[in-house]
Amino acid sequence: MQFYNQNLHSRLLLGTAGYPSPDILIQAIHASEAEIITVSLRREGVGGSEFRQLIAKTKKRFLPNTAGCHTVKEAVTTAQMAREVFETNWIKLEIIGHADTLQPDPFATVEAARILSKEGFEVFPYTTEDLIVGEKLLEAGCQLLMPWGAPIGSGQGLRNIEGLKTMRQYFKNIPLIIDAGIGAPSQAIQAMEIGFDAILLNTAIAKSKNPILMADAFNKAILAGRIAYKAGLMEKRNMAYASTPAYGLADLSL
């Protein structure tokens, strides 16, 4: 798997907010085997430098994000600052357009993606399953898309699975990462079984009773879902289909 020409083995991207303690966060990172860790520039405000140094010790790759931004200017400025702080061109672009659902603003996201791509950023855009918005983001310079499964932190899973299936079929050669809404390993498996390339998680692990065990569970679930997709799932049928043939059964009518 490649994101912006970077080879990766893990298909789990892990967020860092809301963990009970820094020690549990670090243990969860190791249990998840994630190679990409998302971090918010806003964490730099209080104790940010110490937090960044703590995460850096895991030897994982930083993916700073523009969480909490609501305008193009705010997101671009945050991305520019994040590049200086975290020393990476990678940026998860997140511009919120609706306060209750935290749905991304498609117009602002496309505009900001175009500006950031021209400035040399490698953009990971938080979007919806809308195909037109996806096309516009690719035209703006993005090389992957991050559609939501459901609203951030809701744990609803894949709320529009048919739309996500269509997106996967339409963007056949584009890396697609489910970002937001996954609340259980079974939901992550479902996303991987329909062909998505990776899952970005935070709340489902951080707010579980045992984040370390849950990180391990998601790691294994995502791997299982990917293997199942590669193996090829059986087709669903409307009626039963006997797995044991009738041929060879004893003829009791004689």
- List active site positions: 92
Pair type for strands 146-147 and 2-3: unpaired
Q: How many CB atoms lie within 10 A of CB 58?
A: 14
Q: What region, left, alpha or beta, does residue 157 occupy, with left being phi > 0 and alpha being psi -120 to 50 degrees? A: left
153: annotated binding-site residue? yes
Residue 131, classed as helix, strand or coil, is: helix
Using the Cα atoms of residue 164, residue 4, residue 12 and residue 137 in order, give the sign of their dihedral. Answer: negative
202 is in an annotated binding site: yes
How far does Cα 178 stand from its chain's mean position?
4
Alpha-helix residue ranges (DSSP H) falling in 42-160: 48-56, 72-86, 106-118, 131-139
Is 248 strand, coil or helix? Answer: coil
User: Cα separation of 140 and 213, whole Å?
Assistant: 39
Tokens of 113: 């993606």
The tokens 């659902």 sit on which residue?
101
Cα–Cα distance measured from residue 194 to residue 184, given in angstroms and rounded to the nearest whole number: 16
Rounded to whole angstroms, the Cα distance separating 196 from 206 reads: 23
Q: What residue type is assigned to position 19 of the chain?
A: Y
Bind-site residues for 1-deoxy-D-xylulose 5-phosphate: 153, 180-181, 202-203
Bind-site residues: 153, 180-181, 202-203
